[in-house]
Structure 1
Amino acid sequence: MSLDQYGLYLVAVLIAVLTPGPAVMLGITNSIRHNTMTSMVGALGCVTATGLMGALSAMGLGAMIMASAILFDIIRFAGAAYLIWLGIKMWKASGKVAVNVSTEQAVPHPGYMRTYLRGFIISASNPKAIAFFTALFPMFLDPNAPLMAQFTILDSTFVILSFSSIMGYSLLAARSKDFLLGSARKWFDRVAGSIFVSFGLALAASHR
């Protein structure tokens, strides 16, 4: 893989990770409702799943999953159901907690293990990521060079940039935390919940 190829790969990955999706929305939600550390833990869960899917694609399992309509649909509908459940849960929670912005914690913390697993599930249950890796990796590989080293570089780059993107959005959201945990708290929960539901419906309606 030449430097020119790697540069093109960076551009493709930046476009992908800077486009807000469920992982970014989770990071923003964790930042607003809890704190930056919670966003970081959730982001680590997301990129762990993303890195594993990149490894699966490198081993050829990604292509196998994409070839199996039943397996693809199982993953797709499971991910859609989880996103819709998260959205509905946020809608139900909207306005229930009277928030004082001077308090340290706006809502009960779910715990870091649950936060990590939530991020992992959101990314792992999106088969489109496997399709992305399966389609993208071969475009930037040099068949005459060691493949494992190239896969490691491509996968690690995606993980690092994805984590940076999630945290960048989370830190920007943290700047408006006082406002969003005040009178706008109810509307933030409802808007965020609606976005998660829309992501879930879009995933359910998608095709290979």
Structure 2
Amino acid sequence: MLDASIITVLLIVFVGQASPGPATLSIAATSMGQSRGHGVALAFGIITGSLIWSGSAAMGLAALMMHFEWALVLLKYVGGAYLLWLGYRSWMSSRGVASVDLALNPVQVSSYQRSYWKGFAIHITNPKAIMMFASLYSFGLPAGATSQTVWVIFVLVAIQSALVNLGYAFLFSTPSMRKGYLKLKRPLDRLVAVFFGAAGSKMLLSSSVQN
């Protein structure tokens, strides 16, 4: 039976993973605008990034990295610039015309491999991810927690990340969601562009990584 502290850690991570953000918004837009396969590929990229940050935190590397603020500042600028680029791409996409039937005339803007690396880049350049995992493993674990407890949390977080992100990919690639996307493509693309632009600008303009 899971310890209460482990359940608390999983709940906190779940809220962070399931709440709207660059990762979930990218999965939604990709799954609706391209295909389920592209959304799944992007989700796997995000899952890979999550595993890297979670594993690093479990081994203590994340806590060490947080002591070197220059590394997180550099990561912040890279991530902010990448989000601005995604915002620009989404805004340019909003100027196009949606296909009447995505099933017959799909939007072929990227390969599955590119979708995977896009998801990976979104998550691996997000300094909030490493700070969240570092905080959880540093302060969320009960006193005297064993290495076995740490790795149980790592495995459960990995499973939870896969379920959440792949779940979003399957949810937003359903016919009803794709039909809704066709009707609202322009405002949705612009909403994504504004969100990415705001998130990227905030990351670049913040005075410190903790902000």
TM-score, normalised via structure 1 length? 0.88
| Shift of residue 114, structure 1, vs aligned partner | 0.7
RMSD: 2.1
Q: 1:59-118: per-residue Cα shift (whole Å, max 9, x none)? A: 222122211121111101100100110110111122324512264344224001111110
Match of 2:168 in 1: 169
Percent of matched pairs sharing the same residue: 26
* Unmatched segments (≥5 aa) in structure 2: none
Match of 1:199 in 2: 199
* Unmatched segments (≥5 aa) in structure 1: none
Work out whether residues 95 and 185 of structure 1, in 8 Å CA contact, stay in contact via their aligned partners in 2. no
Match of 2:81 in 1: 81
TM-score, normalised via structure 2 length? 0.87
Q: What is the identity, as a one-letter code, of the residue corresponding to 1:180?
A: Y
Match of 2:157 in 1: 158
User: C-alpha separation between the residues in 2 aligned to 1:106 and 1:25?
Assistant: 20
SS at match of 1:159: helix
Match of 1:8 in 2: 8
Structure 1 residue ranges, 4+ long, deviating more than 4 angstroms after superposition = none
Label 1:100 to 1:86 Cα distance change in 2 as closer, same or farther (>3 A). Answer: same
| Shift of residue 142, structure 1, vs aligned partner | 5.5
Paired residues for 1:60-75 under 5 Å: 60-75=60-75
SS at match of 1:5: helix
The answer to whether residue 83 in structure 2 is matched with residue 90 in structure 1 is no
Number of aligned pairs? 205
User: C-alpha separation between the residues in 2 aligned to 1:144 and 1:168?
Assistant: 31
User: C-alpha separation between the residues in 1 aligned to 2:160 and 2:105?
Assistant: 29
